[in-house]
Structure 1
Amino acid sequence: MLAATYTRTGPAAEVLSVGEVTTPVAGLGEVLVRVVASGINPADVKRRGGWRGMDMEHELAIPHTDGAGDIVAVGEGVDPGRIGERVWMWNAQGGYGEAGRAFGTAAEFIAIASRQAVRLADALSYAAGATLGVPAMTAYRAVFADGPVEGQTVFVSGAGGAVGHYAVQMAVAGGARVIGTVGSPEAAAHAMAAGATATIDRRREDVLARIMDFTEGQGVDRVVEVDFGANLELDAAVLKRNGTVAAYSSTSNPTPILPYYAFASKGANLRFIQGFAIPEADRLAGERMIFELAEAGKLQAAIGATFPLSEIAKAHERVERGGLGNVVVLTGGPS
């Protein structure tokens, strides 16, 4: 089969290549998936690039943790009735700080544990399915980890981003009103189309003043935070008493200094979200919500760019440059 591989970390154009590798076989408890679409997340780019000294975990790696396709064979212990099922996949390579799997979804086929191949709603394309494993599940965990949000105000930092876009939709579906920060008029329109009640241009407006004005001085019940280190003082200021900050990244400052009493005086709850480590019961609940929202027409994926497998280096570079929508590599068949 064709697959993208790398044997050392470094710039995408220097280390990624596409060629023939051995087609996997479904083992005990596994399914063999013909991959149609492979989603790229910042974590995949960081792993390939050697972010913060991250080293190779295997001699050869096929990148990407998310993907979607069709089950074409099953291993021992798996219901043969799953053959032909459209699925999306999660955590194909493992999380940070663990060796995980060598072979991800940037290939024509993948053998993966049956439970990591989840039924894909008919309403979603394969390309959309390739954006669910990290972005949608991280958004679900960030929005609902501390219970229902009905009647609450949720502040989504980075509402135009991959996780933020899903978080807006899920919070709205849960009965919350959503305020989101954005970095451009295009991102504002994107977030509003997802259901946000209001957006704030973080580059041109006073975010704190706008949030407090919008909430009549009350602040927000929950914060879904894309960059904890950059925004922790703002989050502490806008949070209601006993509110929650659910942070899923702190890329700009991986070692932030915490203003303890700014949070402690409000009895704040700080939750760190790791999409690779969602508890089993919550993961299953998230999978159900994703399916139900998609079938009801209430969950839309934002695909910013697609690339053929042969241009995977360009796809990684697109993720590094940033931009609206998820980046997906098409590995074969209709997307």
Structure 2
Amino acid sequence: MRAIVYRRPGDSSVLEASEREVAEPGPCEIRVRVVVSGVNPTDWKARRGTGTSAGSAAETVPNQDGAGVVEAVGPDVTEFAVGDRVWLAVSAWRRPGSGTAQEQTVTLVDRAFPLPDGVSFDVGASLGVPAVTAHRALTVAEGGPDRLRPGALEGVNVLVQGGAGAVGHAAIQLARWAGANVIATVSSPRKAALAEAAGAHHVVNRHDPDAAEQVRAIVPEGVDVVVEVAAGANAEFDQAVTHERSTIAAYGNDGGMPLAIDFGRALSLNLRYQFVLIYTMGTAAWEAAGAAVTEAARDGVLAVGEAAGLPLHRFPLAETAAAHDAVEAGAVGKVLIDVAGA
């Protein structure tokens, strides 16, 4: 079968085409014919040897998210049957050969989830890391729900920092689906249009000198939950727009600025910083995220494409290096790789 692999860390030039043997699934595993592979920042970071999932010296197939059709199931697997449509999340975590930049991949059954009828493979390949991260960020607040569903965030004010990114996009969609009042920050008029298309009730340009004041004008009492992509750069902003027992769920630190906390204010408010990394979160959180994201996709609220606020950039499997370069360069939207016909 066709695959893209790398055998040492480096820039995208280390990616090369390869022919690999089709593997048989073992216990708790399934083999999936990959239709579409999704590319995330963690993929190029892992390839460079700087990401959370870096460190393998084995032949590695990149990309951890995707969507396709089950071809074979391992012994004792009852969750899926041959022919089922699935979306994959972090399929290659600590499994170098299980990336989705190949025609068939073998992955653990608990990293695969049903792709509802009528939901495209493009949507399925766009879920994974972004949607699971967004779900986790929206469910870590004190007294909040462990799993999202319609009404779960009724009356909750959510601020999504970086609303035009893939995680921000999913967070807007999931929070609105769950009943929250959603405010998003962006950095340009075009990104504002994308955040609005995703479903944000209010959009604020974070470069405005009075951006925090604009958020306070929308929610005078302060926001309940912040979904944060740049914890260091936005620390002062986040601490200015929150209230007693608010939660700042930080999944990224774009820009790399040190995180400075006004300890006195944070202490007096019982402010919670919750750091979010789905690779090391517990089984219960994974099960809740998989079920909720699948339900939301079935309800049609996780659409992708320009009209839904997440432009798509497509590449063939042979151009996986270019797809990685596009993500590393900061492409606005979602980068997908067409692996096989549906």
Q: Residue 134 of structure 2 aligns to which amino acid in structure 1? A: A
- Render the CA deviation track for 1:46-86: whole Å, top value 9, x for unaligned: 11122279864123110111111100111111239611000
Match status 1:197 vs 2:201: yes
- Cα gap change, 1:313 to 1:270, in 2 (>3 Å): same
Aligned length, in residue pairs: 328
**42-51 or 297-306: which moved more?**
297-306
Match status 1:75 vs 2:70: no
- Cα gap change, 1:15 to 1:264, in 2 (>3 Å): same
- Which among 318, 322, 329 is matched to residue 314 of structure 1? 322
CA contact (8 A) 1:69 1:126 kept: yes
2:241 equivalent in structure 1: 238
What displacement does 1:246 show?
A: 0.4
- Which among 317, 339, 342 is matched to residue 331 of structure 1? 339
2:251 equivalent in structure 1: 248
Q: 1:286, 1:123 → 2: CA distance?
A: 20
- Which among 132, 139, 142 is matched to residue 137 of structure 1? 132
Q: Residue 235 of structure 1 aligns to which amino acid in structure 2? A: D
Q: Residue 111 of structure 1 aligns to which amino acid in structure 2? A: V
CA contact (8 A) 2:123 2:302 kept: no
What displacement does 1:102 show?
A: 3.8
Gaps of 5+ in 2: 146-152, 305-309
2:28 equivalent in structure 1: 29
- Render the CA deviation track for 1:234-260: whole Å, top value 9, x for unaligned: 111111111000010113226534332
Q: Residue 215 of structure 1 aligns to which amino acid in structure 2? A: V
Structure-to-structure mapping, 1:171-186, within 5 angstroms: 171-186=175-190
1:280 equivalent in structure 2: 283
CA contact (8 A) 1:162 1:326 kept: yes
Q: 2:133, 2:200 → 1: CA distance?
A: 18
- Cα gap change, 1:68 to 1:271, in 2 (>3 Å): same
Structure-to-structure mapping, 1:86-165, within 5 angstroms: 86-94=85-93, 99-146=94-141, 147-148=144-145, 149-165=153-169
Q: Residue 110 of structure 1 aligns to which amino acid in structure 2? A: T
2:297 equivalent in structure 1: 294
1:209 equivalent in structure 2: 213
Q: Cα RMSD (Å) of the superposition?
A: 1.9
Q: Residue 107 of structure 1 aligns to which amino acid in structure 2? A: Q
Gaps of 5+ in 1: none
CA contact (8 A) 1:128 1:303 kept: no
CA contact (8 A) 2:67 2:121 kept: yes
Q: Residue 318 of structure 2 aligns to which amino acid in structure 1? A: S
Q: 1:79, 1:54 → 2: CA distance?
A: 29
2:174 equivalent in structure 1: 170
- Render the CA deviation track for 1:164-206: whole Å, top value 9, x for unaligned: 0110111111111111111222211111122211111123452
- Render the CA deviation track for 1:277-307: whole Å, top value 9, x for unaligned: 2322222222222222222222213352111
User: Which secondary structure state, in structure 2, belongs to the residue aligned with residue 110 of structure 1?
Assistant: strand
CA contact (8 A) 2:137 2:249 kept: yes
User: Which secondary structure state, in structure 2, belongs to the residue aligned with residue 229 of structure 1?
Assistant: coil
What percentage of residue pairs aligned between the two structures are identical? 38
Q: 1:72, 1:229 → 2: CA distance?
A: 44
CA contact (8 A) 1:304 1:325 kept: yes
Q: 1:299, 1:128 → 2: CA distance?
A: 7
**219-228 or 120-129: which moved more?**
120-129
- Cα gap change, 1:55 to 1:275, in 2 (>3 Å): closer
Q: 1:142, 1:128 → 2: CA distance?
A: 20
User: Which secondary structure state, in structure 1, belongs to the residue aligned with residue 233 of structure 2?
Assistant: helix
Q: Residue 74 of structure 1 aligns to which amino acid in structure 2? A: V
CA contact (8 A) 2:36 2:68 kept: yes
- Cα gap change, 1:131 to 1:29, in 2 (>3 Å): same
User: Which secondary structure state, in structure 2, belongs to the residue aligned with residue 228 of structure 1?
Assistant: coil
Q: Residue 193 of structure 1 aligns to which amino acid in structure 2? A: A
Q: TM-score, normalised by structure 2?
A: 0.90
